[in-house]
A = this chain, B = another copy of it.
């Protein structure tokens, strides 16, 4: 997780340029705090996140983050938006080259669940609306892009959302979302990708009009 930001962090704070590590200005504290926050999520989960700990890991005083994110909610919102962006990237990579609707839906569903599995705390944060600034445009845009990708695969049409989404689209989103969470929350053991394909097939049985 946070590979790109970790490399920035390493360049600025790491051993190689240790001579610069005692300086007053950080260089790219914003990126370092995001990377630290994502690391904390991965290690301790959403409940284990704290702004102080992120500051600590970035090598900075507890008051420093306020200059970049306002408060804890601000940092979490940025991290959540990045999560949606990565989810979209993961789905795009999974569906790359798949032409048929059925193959695309299976690939997107697999990618959705795989993302949740690979980054459980990050995935959870994305839905913890009480911890986020839900009005943030970047967050809304990132979440909307992920949804649009599913929608396009299921209906074959691009978004724009003049009307409410079709039930088949909501069914697809619900099924991958519910499946991912039931596994993450320990309601059932992970039955594996082949099993998930069979579950996703339930979305493909007919093309009945909605």
161-180 of chain A: CB within 8 A of chain B? 164-165, 167-168, 170-171, 173-179
Q: Are B170 and A174 in contact (CB under 8 A)?
A: no
* Chain B residues within 8 Å of A167, by CB: 195, 198-199, 201-202
Q: Are A191 and B175 in contact (CB under 8 A)?
A: no
Q: Is the C-beta of A186 less than 8 angstroms from some C-beta in chain B?
A: yes
Given contacts A45-B130, A167-B202, contact A174 B185 (CB under 8 A): no
> Using a Cβ–Cβ cut-off of 8 Å, how many residues does chain A contribute to the interface with B?
39
Which of B143, B173, B195, B201 is close to A178, meaning CB atoms less than 8 Å apart? B173
As for how many copies of this chain the complex holds, the number is 2
* Chain B residues within 8 Å of A178, by CB: 173-179, 181
Q: Are B164 and A174 in contact (CB under 8 A)?
A: no
34-57 of chain A: CB within 8 A of chain B? 45, 47
* Chain B residues within 8 Å of A202, by CB: 167-168, 171, 202-203, 205
Given contacts A45-B130, A130-B47, contact A199 B186 (CB under 8 A): no
A170, A182, A195, A206 — which one has the most chain B CB atoms within 10 A of its CB?
Answer: A170
Contact with B along A74-105 (1 / 0, CB 8 A): 00000000000000000000000000000000
